[in-house]
Amino acid sequence: MSKPALKAPMDREALHKKFAELGLRGYWQNERSSQRMEPRLWRWKEVLPALMDAAEVIRIGPDSFRRNIGLQTGSKTLAMGFQIVLPGEAAAAHRHTNTALRFVVSGGGAYTTSNGEPMVMEPGDLLIQPNWVWHDHVNTSKEPIIWIDALDAGLVNYLDAHIFREEWAEGKQQPLTRGHGAARRLYGPARQPKVDKEGAAGVPYHYKWQEALDALKELGEQGLQDPYDGLYIEYKNPIDGGHTFLTMTCYLQMLQPGQETKFHRHTGTAMYHSVQGRGVTMIDKTDTVEMQWDHHDSYTVPPWRWHAHKNLSQTEPAILFSFTDRPLLEMTGLDREELG
Ligand SMILES: [Fe+2]
Ligand SMILES: [Fe+2]
């Protein structure tokens, strides 16, 4: 009788090779499956020339339906970038399952049409287009317009839930069916008891710069300081008073001259843009990364990293616009904050 063949002893390498063939992976094999997000800063003096270069090379229409330049933030949920639209340019009407926000950096007089309403964009304005709201952009002014263009793209892509539609003739804008300010009248504090969201996850809205600034100043006059963020407002959802969107939320904060906040950390990714002034955001309590920001610089604060802000001017207030994915963390029971 012949002896049964001896099974070759299997080592780790052979085991892992076999696993790979079968589409399996031992949990002990795990390195971190993806790169951890790290803090990063983009200087406006470098970003602006890059935007102008893009405006020269890429034409809206023939080359691309948009001219968005993304910041490589490493965020798993959010995308942040800038859009530049030159005088006479127009981007085609479309809608998608990404939720979008636009915060105007410079320019004025161009408009974004949201569900038929032309919203004229002025510096510091915030325009929101929740998931499935029609939008397009037209610059009828004499100067380029630049805005921060942010989306929940990482999340939507992760879930393979990206759907995109163009309904009007390719490259065309939607008809203007509502007057200026319609959303503010339809969805403002005095409105119909029940609001029709027109099939979208929310309604488009236009938050005006001056009103947000006045709110910050009022907080200052009342001495209503947040120890971690200074004078701090959230752009509330016009319908339910909750976060700006289901997936993201937006803030504006003012640091008074010389003000320094306390450290805290929280789950959720935060993206910042300096609207005015100069300061520093310190990340981590040891081996601190100092994000020194100036007018129109942008930077990220990754999840669960200690951070505090300081206004480096002794005479001028500093103002930061930011947005986070906090609603997602709350929805999933993962929202955590630790105070320093
Ligand atoms: Fe879009
Ligand atoms: Fe924070």
Tens digit of each residue's pLDDT, the chain (340 residues): 566 667 777 888 998 898 889 888 888 887 665 678 999 999 999 999 999 999 999 888 777 777 889 999 999 999 999 999 999 999 999 999 999 999 999 999 999 999 999 999 999 999 999 999 999 999 999 999 999 999 999 999 999 999 998 877 666 889 999 999 999 999 999 999 999 888 889 999 999 999 999 999 999 999 999 999 999 999 999 999 999 999 999 999 999 999 999 999 999 999 999 999 999 999 999 999 999 999 999 999 999 999 999 999 999 999 999 999 999 999 999 999 999 8
Angle of CA points 315, 298, 235, to nearest 5° = 80
**Separation of CA 322 and ligand 2 centre (Å):** 10
**Separation of CA 212 and ligand 1 centre (Å):** 25
Indicate the residue type of 143: E
Cα-atom radius of gyration of the chain, to the nearest Å? Answer: 23
- Considering every ligand atom shown, identify the ligand nearest to the alpha carbon of residue 302 and give its number: 2
- Considering every ligand atom shown, identify the ligand nearest to the alpha carbon of residue 228 and give its number: 2
**Separation of CA 93 and ligand 1 centre (Å):** 8
pLDDT of residue 198: 82
- Considering every ligand atom shown, identify the ligand nearest to the alpha carbon of residue 263 and give its number: 2
Query: Each residue of 294-332: b (16+ CB within 10 Å) or e?
Result: bebbbbbbbbebbbbbbbbbeeebbbbbbbbbbbbbeee
Distance CA 3, CA 171 (A): 76
Closest CA to 269 of 68, 71, 124, 104: 71
Distance CA 202, CA 244 (A): 9
Sequence ranges of the chain with CATH classification 2.60.120.10: 41-205, 208-339
Closest CA to 207 of 329, 104, 316: 104
**Separation of CA 82 and ligand 2 centre (Å):** 23
Classify burial at 278, counting beta carbons within 10 Å of its beta carbon; exposed 0-12, middle 13-18, buried 19 or more.
middle
**Separation of CA 21 and ligand 1 centre (Å):** 40
DSSP state of 5: P
pLDDT of residue 4: 65
Neighbours of 262 (CB within 10 A): 12
**Separation of CA 85 and ligand 1 centre (Å):** 14
Do 179 and 196 meet the contact criterion of CB atoms below 8 Å apart? no
87, 64, 80, 259: CA torsion to nearest 10: -20
Distance CA 212, CA 139 (A): 24
pLDDT of residue 32: 62
Superfamily of domain 208-339: Jelly Rolls (2.60.120.10)
pLDDT of residue 5: 67
Under DSSP, is residue 132 helix (H, G, I), strand (E, B) or coil?
coil
- Considering every ligand atom shown, identify the ligand nearest to the alpha carbon of residue 98 and give its number: 1
Distance CA 191, CA 62 (A): 42
Class of the CATH domain delimited by 41-205:
mainly beta
Closest CA to 83 of 120, 114, 117, 112: 112
Under DSSP, is residue 69 helix (H, G, I), strand (E, B) or coil?
strand
**Separation of CA 337 and ligand 2 centre (Å):** 9
**Separation of CA 307 and ligand 2 centre (Å):** 7
pLDDT of residue 211: 98
pLDDT of residue 168: 74
Distance CA 48, CA 162 (A): 29
- Considering every ligand atom shown, identify the ligand nearest to the alpha carbon of residue 229 and give its number: 2
